[in-house]
Structure 1
Amino acid sequence: MSPRKLVILGLSITSSWGNGHATTYRALVRELVQRGHQVIFLERDMPWYRDTRDLPSPPYGRTHLYENLEELFDTYQGIIEDADLVIIGSYVPDGIKVGHWVLAHARGIVAFYDIDTPVTLTALAQGRAEYISPDLIRRYDLYLSFTGGPTLQRLEHEFEAQRARALYCSVDPEAYYPQVVEASWDLGYLGTYAPDRQPMLECLLNAPARAWFEGRFVVAGPSYPTTVQWPSNVERIEHLPPSEHGSFYNRQRFTLNITRADMAQSGYAPSVRLFEAAACGIPIISDGWSGIDEFFHPGTEILLASSAKEVVSFLQTMPEEHRCALGEQARRRVLADHTAAQRVKELESYIEECFAGLGAETH
């Protein structure tokens, strides 16, 4: 595809605190720029990100912060008009107003990138979606979704999305790779606190820690309430910037993946943590959900568990040779199918599809 001018309005690219969006946007923008595209990222200057920026000046593309809608509308209308593609991400503050403004001024393709598709659909059903509306879904040229499978058909048939296409999360193999380090923990988990994930974290990590007192466990991520009762052999790390994720995974014998309830129910919604850990060659124990076998083959590339007993069995009885082979198989799968470079190629194909289909149509 010939070079294009892209504008992305996303939740955050400068701060990974409490969100997984930054990692996704960083990988996507970097690969787009490497393939010759011009990319401008617009981010609302929110106080909780202002104080926790682990990449205040991304070295790829151009990043601009704006304080409010008035500054956005007054300062950046020209680049919206000049862009070949404008992408508006989920959870962008005042996303509905931003979407209508972009559609009023964009001359190219306008896409919505839903990094939280099942959560979005639940919010729409309950009438409490703050960054997207049914009207906008119908008007966007392209609906990019972190969730594939039947959800894509639902978006097109129930919500009348013009083109719903999967654009899953991905991994940067230059940042996530096997390291020769001594394991500090038998099982680790990386994730921000979420009420709907906590019961499964209790089942698949805290309960195994209580059952196997000699085991070493760790949970990294912010916002866990003080009411959580951590076993004494569970180490807590409040926050890890993406630059430390790779070494964190490599210090685990196994890593745990837990899926948000809405995403598990929808299926076909892999977490970026799956791809990051796999790229490091670390065996993954995960909860199960529909479509997981589209990304990893259970038993040879990933382990599925629904009880503490199963987790403890994996940790205590799996031969080392089998453990290493499982991690290596997962790494090969990720490098073949789930890198950021491959996601950009998929995005380029969607862009070309839109240009071919839209012709002289306007919004």
Structure 2
Amino acid sequence: MKNRMNIAFFASSLVSAYWNGAATYYRGIVRAMHARGHRVTFYEPDAFKRQKHRDMDDPPWAKVVVYSAESEAEVLRTVEQARGADLVVKASGVGVHDALLERAVLDLQGPGTLVVYWDVDAPATLDRMHHDAHDPLRPLVPRYDLVLTYGGGEPVSSAYKALGARDCIPIYNALDPTTHFPVAPEPRFEGDLGFLGNRLPDREARVEEFFLRAAAALPGRRFLLGGSGWQDKPMPPNVRYLGHVFTADHNAFNCTPLAVLNISRESMARYGFSPATRVFEAAGAAACLITDAWEGLEQFFEPGAEMLVARNGDEVAHQLESLDTDKARAVGEAAYRRVLAEHTYDHRAAQLDAVLEGRTMETAT
């Protein structure tokens, strides 16, 4: 593999987390790859008002190209700009012209150019392909040099291989300690339990169970809900809705309440081995995290010591009732030590480099 790769990355957005839950993941991976000497050009569409809701300027560790997605011709012209890159990535969930992009990037494949499909929502993508034999991605899967995912473990890898993938390797979410770290509490986020997540179809029922049910069971406790789309959702009176919480405020949101809650989307909980970015953000802030139960949790954190686990809303309420400041601090500090030791994006970038080195050597031979 070349010591320094030229990487073209087609994905939803690097500079805006607005309706874009993968932003933290992209930022962590791209920044860490830049630190290892690679050059990344990140192509993102001008769509979903994300450019009007930027939460960061163009970073020094990536070239950001914002392209018009008003026509297929414009999208294809943008793809052509990536010709000659050492690595071309098409991420899932760009949101506009996904099927076109998934076909078009494969035309860039050739000697010296690997083309990778990077699935940041593998459970949903796999469910979609399994339910639709004519899904446009299905016949393309075997053509990609490699499939990467940000979660799912062996169940997802096996499912992709069954669809013809040459290989499928998870590059899990992680922590960027330069952006997520402990800070002083802020009064606006004071409460007993905070949850941060956008309103999505395969998350809503689980939010009702794990968060709203727990709030209803503990009327004397204060609950905080952050994220887009919940404004018309009926809630118990002890829930305060904050709306969209910008990335710059995530540290204070994690550090201020007694505990914060992670709720996996239904598809990710079903496949397991899919820790959300919020899990690592909370650990990086030394927050006490209560998480819904999912298979593979023990691979990342020790339940009961580094993270508290609940199987339903009643157990969330019980965990919160049993929690005092000293215990919350001990759990959060244990998670902080673990995430710095094993789960930073530097760790993930080193893994990615090793994976890509193997693939480029195979191509060369």
TM-score, normalising length from structure 2? 0.92
C-alpha distance after superposition, 1:129-175 (max 9, x if no partner): 97x6122110111100122122212211x111111001111221122
2:106 aligns with: 103
CA distance in structure 1 between the partners assigned to 2:204 and 2:340 by the alignment: 30
Q: How far did 1:225 drift?
A: 5.6
Helix, strand or coil at the partner of 1:8: strand
**Which secondary structure state, in structure 1, belongs to the residue aligned with residue 53 of structure 2?**
coil
Structure 2 counterparts to residues 261-280 of structure 1, below 5 A: 261-280=266-285
What is the match of residue 25 of structure 2? 24
CA distance in structure 2 between the aligned counterparts of 1:120 and 1:243, rounded to whole angstroms: 30
- The 5 A counterparts of 1:115-154 are 115-127=120-132, 133-146=137-150, 147-154=152-159
Task: Confirm whether residue 251 of structure 1 aligns to residue 256 of structure 2.
Answer: yes
Aligned mates of 1:159, 1:321 — CA distance in 2 = 49
The 2-side partners of 1:312 and 1:351 are apart by 45
Aligned residue number for residue 85 of structure 2: 83
Tell whether 2:136 aligns with 1:160: no
Aligned pair 1:192/2:198, yes or no? yes
User: Do residues 322 (structure 1) and 327 (structure 2) align?
Assistant: yes
SS of alignment partner, residue 28 of structure 1: helix
Does residue 41 (structure 1) correspond to residue 42 (structure 2)? The answer is: yes
Instruction: Tell me: CA distance 1:60–1:141, structure 2 relative to 1, closer, same or farther (3 Å).
Output: same
Q: 1:216 aligns with which of 222, 239, 246?
A: 222
**CA 1:75 to 1:203, structure 2 compared with 1: closer, same or farther past 3 Å?**
closer
In the TM superposition, what is the alpha-carbon distance from 1:261 to its structure 2 partner?
0.7
Stretch of structure 1 that moved more, 99-108 or 332-341: 99-108
Instruction: Check whether the contact 2:258–2:325 (CA below 8 A) recurs between aligned residues.
Output: no
Deviation at residue 76 of structure 1 after TM alignment: 4.7
Determine if contact 2:190/2:257 at 8 Å carries over to the other structure: yes
Q: Following superposition of structure 1 onto structure 2, how do residues 3-22 of structure 1 map, counting pairs within 5 Å?
A: 3-22=4-23
Contact 1:44 1:67 in 2 (8 A): yes
Checking the alignment, whether the CA contact within 8 Å between 1:80 and 1:86 is kept in structure 2 is yes
1:201 aligns with 2:202: no
1:298 matched to which residue of 2?
A: 303
String of CA shifts for 1:29-64, please: whole Å, max 9, x gaps: 111112211110111111421322222523321010
| Residue 350 (structure 1) aligns with | 355
* Aligned counterparts of 1:56 and 1:288: Cα–Cα separation in 2: 37
**Is the 2:11–2:42 Cα contact (8 Å) retained in structure 1?**
yes
1:196 deviates by: 2.6
The CA distance in 2 between the partners of 1:238 and 1:323, in whole Å, is 26
Alpha-carbon distance change, 209 to 105 in structure 1, aligned in 2, over 3 angstroms = closer
**Identity fraction in percent:** 32
Tell me which amino acid in the other structure corresponds to 1:72: V
The runs of 5 or more residues in structure 2 that have no matched partner are: none
Q: 1:74 offset after TM fit, Å?
A: 2.5
Question: Deviation above 3 Å: which 4+ runs of structure 1?
Answer: none
C-alpha separation in 1, matches of 2:78 and 2:216 = 56
Change (3 A) 1:251 1:40: same
Deviation per CA, 1:185-229, whole angstroms, max 9, x where unpaired? 110000000233222222222222222222111000001261x21
1:63 alignment partner, SS class: strand
Shift of the 47–190 alpha-carbon distance from structure 1 to 2, 3 Å rule, reads closer
Q: TM-score w.r.t. structure 1 length? A: 0.93
Offset at residue 12 of structure 1 (A):
1.1
Match of 1:237 among 228, 233, 242: 242
Question: Residues 320 and 60 from structure 1, CA distance in 2 versus in 1: closer, same or farther, beyond 3 angstroms?
Answer: same
Task: Give the Cα separation in 2 of the matches to 1:237 and 1:129.
Answer: 41
Cα distance in 2, alignment partners of residues 91 and 128 from structure 1: 19
User: For each residue in 1:282-322, what CA deviation from the matched residue of structure 2 results, as whole angstroms up to 9, or x when unmatched?
Assistant: 11111111111111111111111123332222222234332
Q: How has the CA–CA distance of structure 1 residues 266 and 161 changed in structure 2, closer, same or farther, with 3 Å as cutoff?
A: same
Separation of aligned partners in 2, 1:331 and 1:26: 20
SS in 1 for 2:224: strand
- Partner of 2:116, secondary structure, is strand
Amino acid of the residue matched to residue 95 of structure 1?
D
Q: Which amino acid aligns with 2:212?
A: N
**What is the aligned length?**
356
Return closer, same or farther for 1:172/1:255 CA change in 2, 3 Å cut-off.
same
Q: Select 2:181's aligned residue among 170, 173, 177.
A: 177
Report how far residue 241 of structure 1 moved: 1.5
Q: Which residue of 2 aligns with 1:114?
A: 119
Please give the secondary structure, in 2, of the residue aligned with 1:329.
helix
